[in-house]
Structure 1
Amino acid sequence: MTGRAQHLRAWAELLRLPALFTVPGDALAGASAVGLRPGRGTFLAIGSSLCLYEAGMALNDWADRAEDAVDRPHRPLPSGRIRPAAALAAAGGLTAAGLALATRAGRPAALAAGALAATVWGYDLGLKKTPAGPVAMAAARGLDVLLGAAATSGRLHRTALPAATTLAAHTLAVTAVSRNETRGGDVKAPLGALAATLALTRITGRAPRLPAGRRVAAAPG
């Protein structure tokens, strides 16, 4: 393998490229929640989400580089395959790209993307190892759905809140389960989050749809 190929492989490992396939569904769920077909704004939201997700991946390894040097020395940063400064610069550049794409979908989408970016950076730089970590992770997934809804419709829709909240509650449950498994611990938190997910799913299923005549047309573009 050539040096360039090895370098590209290191970046693919840092950014966890296979996980990108999990991202577009959030924006598509947001479009569905407001009763609109995916359009130009939806695809801008997907691009924004992908950039912000990858920014989080790069920032995560930059923030954990000292810990990884002890526990995961094979990772791209502690192994020296990627410089920490390059990873941090990538996180900044990807965040800027994500915000720029969302801005092209309109101000409401830009506001949602800004909140999502702040959550991603807050999680990686301080919240991840605190009790607020799972909540921040859950908020990020919910905001991703709202980004898709806002970019598709050109508005911040209350009708997207049940779907966003349900996904956030599910993410909270999964994150809490993962955290408790590593500590061998208490099942109360994941069970509580799971109960919230089920309750919110039921509420979402009963939520009234916008009348056909009042559905917001997709933003021109």
Structure 2
Amino acid sequence: MTLRNSPCGGPGGTPAADADTAGDPVPGPCTDRPHRSRAWAELLRLPALFSVPGDALAGTAATGSSPNSRTLLAIGSSLCLYEAGMALNDWADRDVDAVERPHRPLPSGRIRPAAALTAACALTGAGLALAVGAGRPALAVAAPLAATVWAYDLGLKRTPAGPVAMGAARGLDLLLGAAATTGRMREALPSAALLGTHTLAVTTVSRQEAQGGSPLPPLAALATTALLARLVTRPSAGPMRGHRQTTALGRTVPRAARRPEQESGALLTTALAAAYAVTTTRPYFHATLNPSPPLTQRAVGAGIRATIPLQATLAARSRGTATALLIAALAPLGARSAKKVSVT
């Protein structure tokens, strides 16, 4: 990425970014408030927040319910816990980033490590408090979610269990929406497993985004995307319009007709699943051919953005059409903001 001639990396401290990924500005002598605000935006990776509300909304749709006030509390809890993980991640990685990414907010000195740790603690507390407001079932999910986030950042990240822990965190986040809205989670378990699998694949690719590495992780992520797109659009066992079936007595009778809303829901699910696959296929393929840091980072960014159409697909397959469209509307907002601040 090429930076414009400015001590902050561009006019007003904004770097020039390419169409698919945004880089971090080179640290300079800027100390004004906009510069500090940008440093916090980089630390918290604010554009990635657009991928969070869909977790709770997809969980709510999986239970066959519509969002309510408790759903909003669950979304607030998710946002806080997600950002707590971002701040804690950079605090835990500050020594490594000093070597691999010296331009990040902590090693560059734009944010003090103590401030990042304080933010992580405060955001965790806020997330749990919001879960308390959503009810006891929500807190029963938010507490292990917070524990998973902290365990990942402080210990599991660099172990083989790291991607599994991150996938579990996303799955729990989806279950948080179901638990807060209805107090039930069983119906949302399949959706949580699918979303967690996607996150596991993206996290596995992200482990080599700083130095590059093997083509196997992006290739595996590409295969995972294809599998998930197939699973979320798998035809239901329900009857289809215009077909006939033979009974045990040899009589031919018409199958029950599928309702128009079921037909439109199936079309929406297919369209959203296609958007999910398209978002990731090319970046994963390029990273497979050349697993260099820039292409790997681009693949990770695409994987994070693809979370939104996947969440929308999960909502649509649960007949939550309005919820699916609401989630899908977050995708262009996330893509636009990712051009200004990196999500990785």
Superposed pair shares fold, TM > 0.5: yes
Offset, 1:180:
6.7
Name the structure 1 match of 2:204: 176
Name the structure 2 match of 1:161: 189
Q: Could you say which structure has the higher helix fraction?
A: 1
Offset, 1:192:
7.5
Kindly provide the amino acid, as one letter, of the partner of residue 48 in structure 1.
S
Of 44, 51, 58, the match for 1:22? 51
Name the structure 2 match of 1:215: none
Q: Is the 8 A contact 1:15 1:54 kept in 2?
A: yes
Name the structure 1 match of 2:117: 88
Q: Which ranges in structure 1 are unaligned for 5 or more consecutive residues?
A: 210-221
Offset, 1:9:
1.6
Name the structure 2 match of 1:39: 68
Offset, 1:68:
0.8
Q: What is the rounded CA distance, in whole Å, between the counterparts of 1:204 and 1:71 in structure 2?
A: 46
Q: Is the 8 A contact 2:63 2:184 kept in 1?
A: no
Offset, 1:194:
5.5
User: Equivalent residue of 1:183, what SS?
Assistant: coil
Q: What is the rounded CA distance, in whole Å, between the counterparts of 1:11 and 1:174 in structure 2?
A: 24
The range that moved more, 187-196 or 64-73, is 187-196
The range that moved more, 174-183 or 83-92, is 174-183
Q: Deviations over 1:39-70 (max 9, x none)?
A: 10111011001000100110000000001111
Count the aligned residue pairs.
208
Q: Kindly, what percent of the aligned residue pairs are identical?
A: 67
Matched, 1:3 2:32: yes
Cα separation, partners in 2 of 1:176 and 1:70, compared to 1, 3 Å: closer
Kindly provide the amino acid, as one letter, of the partner of residue 4 in structure 1.
R
Offset, 1:195:
7.7
Listed as ranges, the matches of 1:196-215 within 5 Å are: 197=228, 201=232
Kindly provide the amino acid, as one letter, of the partner of residue 32 in structure 2.
G
Name the structure 1 match of 2:270: none
Matched, 1:55 2:84: yes
Q: Is the 8 A contact 1:162 1:200 kept in 2?
A: no
Which one has a bigger Cα radius of gyration? 2
Q: Which ranges in structure 2 are unaligned for 5 or more consecutive residues?
A: 1-11, 13-30, 239-317, 319-344
User: Equivalent residue of 2:187, what SS?
Assistant: helix
Q: Deviations over 1:109-139 (max 9, x none)?
A: 0111111111111111111111111101100
Q: What is the rounded CA distance, in whole Å, between the counterparts of 2:141 and 2:198 in structure 1?
A: 20
Of 130, 139, 161, the match for 1:101? 130
Q: What is the rounded CA distance, in whole Å, between the counterparts of 1:165 and 1:178 in structure 2?
A: 20
Matched, 1:137 2:166: yes
Q: Is the 8 A contact 1:16 1:57 kept in 2?
A: yes
